[in-house]
Each structure stands twice: as C-alpha cells, then as structure tokens.
Homo-oligomer: A and B are copies of this chain.
Amino acid sequence: MPRPARSTRRRLAWGTAAVLAAGVAVPTLAQATPGGGPASAGASAGATAAGSAAASPASGHKAKNVIVLIGDGMGDSEITLARDYTVGANGRLNMDGFPRTGAYTTYSVDEKGKPEYVTDSAASGTGWATGNKTVNGRISKTPGTDKPLPTMLELAKKKGLATGNITTADLTDATPAVQNAHVRDRGCQGPADMKKCPRDTLGQGGGGSIAEQTVTTGADVLMGGGKEHFDQTVTEGPHKGRTVTEQARKAGYRLVTDKSGLESATPGTPLLGLFARSDIPVEWTGKPAARGGTDPQRCTTSNPERPDTTPSLERQTSRAIELLEAQQKGKNGKAKVKGHGKKPGKGFFLQVEGASIDKQDHVADPCGQIGETVAFDRAVKVARDYARKHPDTLVVTSADHAHASQIVPTDAKPAGLASTLITDEGRPLQVSYSNNDPAAAQEHTGTQVRIAASGPGADRVQGVTDQTDLFHTVTGALR
C-alpha cells in the first residue's frame, strides 16, 4: 500500500523548521526510528543488531561539526567504476571507508505530491537540505504551494554555527543552491535569469535570484564556479544597479578567483570564491563514449582547459575547514565583518559537492567522470582526516541520484554509447551509456544510492532511508 510521498514520520528538528513550511503537511511527532528512516519493517526486526545500533556510542551523541559531501550523480555504478579504474577492483577509495553505510531513496514528487521515480538535482537537494520532497527543478520550495522551506545551512547559521558551501559547478547550480536559496526554478541563477521565477523577484517580495540569495543567506565560505551569474546586474531592491559581486563585497565578502586568492583568505572575513565563469573545468580528459565503442583507452589525468591557478576541490575543502574552524575557535582576532567572526565552541556546517561526475555522465565521458569522482574522493579524505582528529564531527557522503553509466562485459555490445578503458591495474573495462538517445544527454536513474557516515548520528544512515531523512540526521545530530 503506498504511503504518503513525503516523509512526515519524523520529528522536525529545531522548531524553526516548521515555521516556513506553510503549505505542506505539518510533521507529526512520531518517534524517530533508530535506523534513521521510514523503514518500519526493519525497526523491530533483527533485534540483536538493531538494539546494538541504538545503544552504540555513535548514536545519541551530539555533533559539533557536520560535513556533508555529495557526489552529484554518483550512484554505486559510478563509485565502482572509479574504484576499478584507479585503485583496482580489490582496492578501496576513501569514501569506501566509512563505518556506517546504507542506501537512500531519491524520488521526487509532482505538484500534488505524487512520486516521480527519477529526480533531478534540484528536487533531490531540496530533499536533504529541507527534509521535504519537491518537484523537479525547484530549489527548497514546496510542491504545489511554492513556499520556501528552511534549509539545514540556514538553520545551522541561525544556531550560530559557521557555515560553508562548496561546489565544482556554478555556485548557483542546483546542489549548492538548495542550501542558499529558495526559487521556483533552478534556472533562475542570476538577476537576468528570472523569467521562470516571477514570484521570487525582489519586486514581488521574493528573495531574488539564486546568486542574490546566496549573498543574503550569507554563508561564511562560498566557493565554486559560475562567476557569470554574480557579474549580472541587480535590477530591483536596495542593490539595484550593482552587480551581485558588488553586492557581495558590500556585504563584506572578499572575492577570490584563483589558488593564491584562496590561500590568502583569512577567518572573520566571509569568502566568496568564484574560480570559473561557469562550471570549474574537469580534472581528467579522454575520448567520450561512442556508438560501437572506442578503442581501448587510458585516461589523461590532466586537462589543458583547466588553468593551473584553479584550486582543487580537495584544497577548497581543506581551506574551508581551516577558515570555519578558525572562526569557531576564535582564532585570528576579532570578527572583521559582523556575523562572520568568532563563534567559540559553536562548530561549523559545510556542504561539499563534486558536481561534474553527473555532468560527465550526461555527456558519456568516462574519463571526465572518473577524474571528477576521484577529485571528490580526495575531498572526502580531507573531511575524514579532520573527523579522525575531531570525533565530534559528523561526516556524511552520498549522491543526489544515480546515473547512466554501467560496467558491462568486454564483449557486450551496448545499444547506445560505449567505451573501453584500460585500468591502472592493466585490465580492460567497458562502460555503457545507453539509457537515452545516443544523440542526447544520458539520463539520471531512479535507483537508490549509497549513503555513508562516521561520527555522532552516523548510525542513522543504516538500512534503507529516504533522502529527506538526511535532513533529520544532520539537524538531529546538531540539536
């Protein structure tokens, strides 16, 4: 029997969360299940192990810091492909090492709340950022009523935590946007892009474009690509006539655009890193998959179109943690900008996205895809290394949805696009991208995806949960 499409069975963390959630069903006060999801069938079964999960030191502990790392489009197939190619079938990636693991469901809904079995990145991100399902394309607003939903970054900031949000895509792209903004359509990235979001303009009482809302939400550390959207001119409200970049400077942000800028950033001054005009160029290159396959190829672990001055996601992540931690420790003197200074003992919340796993999967480029997965995995290592020294840190890694790529036998003849790679352990591996017209972008899939975690609250990712449960896992751990 179908159950309601939204997860209304968990207590909403932080009373504030319900305030903005007008227009959607008010969550009940049903007791949270230890497995971390609506897995009713499992809650009472396998008593020994379930009991131990509930009683383990990892559950019930409060987290000081939370780092959420999202591999966009990084289904189990994408993870396995990156592992096979780099460390080998019997090797292990950094992301493989989390002690608590499960799967979560990723579907979105239509305007009436009925399930759509394949989500896009906007609806899926809204799921974990707000704990609510929404329609494909929407950024942290409800289905049907189109009302803003508070995000975990906003709630963390309100609670006094230092906050950060990093991506390899445009900073205004869906996955970072779901934490920073509330718009009807993900396309409304800059002031000139508001056609699909008439009610979100400042003139209509909305928050403006994603770029403008990113500045007004005001995370302490913001990094990604997408400078072109921030260089658009604001058309309404107090910043009319300024670019969004100028608006950010006015709000105290220091704008950096390359490695050396990133290295020179200091705590207490909010940081806006915009390292590319649109998406940050990928790290690896190779032949895209083709009809009938490719000759066996080795990937090139560099990209001539990626300037040397572009910081890696790994370094962005380590710098973000340094800056956010310095704020929480009260290091580096007093706040230089109001609201972005010392927050002793308060901890931080950071979201990190590896965005172009998805984008390279769409264009059926296995080398690009693997390189981005590996780059993301290095960012995971940064987070895990930090958590090892700071066990009061909850680290969660997952994906927003699964994707097209499949590892198939070397003698298979995929119906669409394919490529044969020679892996680092010297073995042939064929990848198929065949779930859409070969002339079009390959598609997301509706498969459940892996979620893995360490630290306080990590137990809640076990079993089968829903994407919306991650909101409760994070806010519950920070409560």
Tell me the complex Cα distance, A92–B100, Å.
20
A14 beta carbon closer than 8 Å to chain B: no
A27 within 8 A of B: no
Check if A288 is an interface residue, CB within 8 A of chain B. Answer: no
Contact B101 A89, beta carbon cutoff 8 Å: no
Q: Is B97 a contact partner of A76 (Cβ separation < 8 A)? A: no
Chain A 23-62 interface 0/1 with B at a Cβ cutoff of 8 Å (1 = within): 0000000000001001111111111111111011111010
CA distance A303 to B50 in the complex (A): 38
Is there contact, CB below 8 Å, between A434 and B409? Answer: no
Decide if A415 touches B413 in the complex (CB within 8 Å). Answer: no
Q: Judge whether A47 and B443 touch: CB under 8 Å.
A: no
Complex alpha-carbon distance, A35 and B97, angstroms: 9
- A119 to chain B minimum Cβ distance, whole angstroms, is 9
Is A92's CB under 8 angstroms from B38's CB?
A: yes
- B463/A98 in contact, CB under 8 A: yes
Whether the Cβ atoms of A101 and B101 lie closer than 8 Å is: yes
A424 within 8 A of B: yes
Tell me whether A238 is interfacial, beta carbon within 8 Å. no
Asked if A412 lies at the interface with its beta carbon under 8 angstroms from chain B, I say yes
Compute how far the CA of A67 lies from the CA of B435 in the bound complex, rounded to whole angstroms. Answer: 36
Task: Give the residue of B101, B115, B388 whose beta carbon is less than 8 angstroms from that of A47.
Answer: B388
- Residues of chain B within 8 A of A57, CB atoms compared: 48, 51-52
Is the pair A407, B56 in contact by a Cβ cutoff of 8 Å?
Answer: no
In the bound complex, residues from chain B placing their C-beta under 8 Å from that of A180 are none
Please name all residues of chain B whose beta carbon is closer than 8 Å to the beta carbon of A335 when the two chains form the complex. Answer: none
B427 touches A114 (CB 8 A): yes
Q: Which residues of B contact A388 (CB under 8 A)?
A: 44-47
Shortest Cβ distance from A85 into B: residue: B117
Name A344-394 residues within 8 Å CB distance of B.
384, 387-388, 391
Check A2 for interface membership: any CB of B closer than 8 A.
yes
Contact A463:B101 (CB < 8 A) given known A7-B90, A48-B454 = yes
Interface bracket on A = 35 or more
Q: Could you tell me if A435 and B415 are in contact, using CB atoms closer than 8 angstroms?
A: yes
B-contacting 9-mer, from A156-164, A197-205, A264-272, A444-452: A444-452
Is the pair B2, A443 in contact by a Cβ cutoff of 8 Å? no
Which secondary structure dominates chain A's binding surface? loop
CA of A456 to CA of B38 in the docked complex: distance in angstroms? 24
Contact of A464 with B51 at beta-carbon distance under 8 Å, contacts A92-B39, A434-B434 already known: no
Q: Is A129 an interface residue (CB 8 A)?
A: no
A470 to chain B, nearest CB (A): 15
User: Would you list which residues of chain A between 433 and 447 have a CB under 8 Å from chain B?
Assistant: 434-438, 440, 443-447
Which of A102-110, A213-221, A243-251, A322-330 is the contact stretch? A102-110
Q: CA of A459 to CA of B453 in the docked complex: distance in angstroms?
A: 15
Q: Specify which of A96, A459, A462 lies most central, judged by the most chain B CB atoms within 10 Å of its CB.
A: A96
The contact string, 1 if C-beta is below 8 Å from chain B, for chain A 391-426, is 100010000001010111110111111000001111
In the assembled complex, the CB of A456 is this many whole angstroms from the nearest CB of chain B, namely 7
The answer to whether the Cβ of A18 comes within 8 Å of any Cβ in the partner chain is: no
Within the assembled complex, what's the spacing in Å between the Cα atoms of A48 and B3? 35
Contact A455 B84 (CB under 8 A): no
B443–A387 contact, CB under 8 A?
A: no
The reply to whether A414 and B434 form a contact with Cβ atoms under 8 Å apart is yes
Q: Is A80 an interface residue (CB 8 A)?
A: yes
A118 is an interface residue with CB less than 8 A from chain B:
yes
Report if A304 contacts B (CB, 8 A).
no
- The answer to whether A48 touches B43 (Cβ under 8 A) is no
Nearest B residue to A462 by beta-carbon distance?
B101
A462: chain B residues at CB < 8 Å are: 99-101, 462
Q: Are B415 and A438 in contact (CB under 8 A)?
A: yes
Assess the B117–A407 pair: CB atoms within 8 A.
yes
Asked if A19 is at the interface of the complex by the 8 Å CB criterion, the answer is no
Q: Are A84's CB and B414's CB within 8 A? A: no
Contact B97 A39 (CB under 8 A): yes
**Nearest Cβ in chain B — how far from A133, in angstroms?**
9
> When the two chains form their complex, are residues A49 and B458 in contact, meaning their CB atoms are under 8 A apart?
yes
Given contact pairs A47-B454, A51-B57, A83-B105, a sample of 5 additional A-B residue pairs in the complex whose CB atoms are under 8 Å apart: A1-B88, A39-B96, A101-B103, A114-B425, A408-B446
- The 3 lowest CB-CB distance pairs between A and B, nearest first, are A46-B454, A42-B97, A415-B416
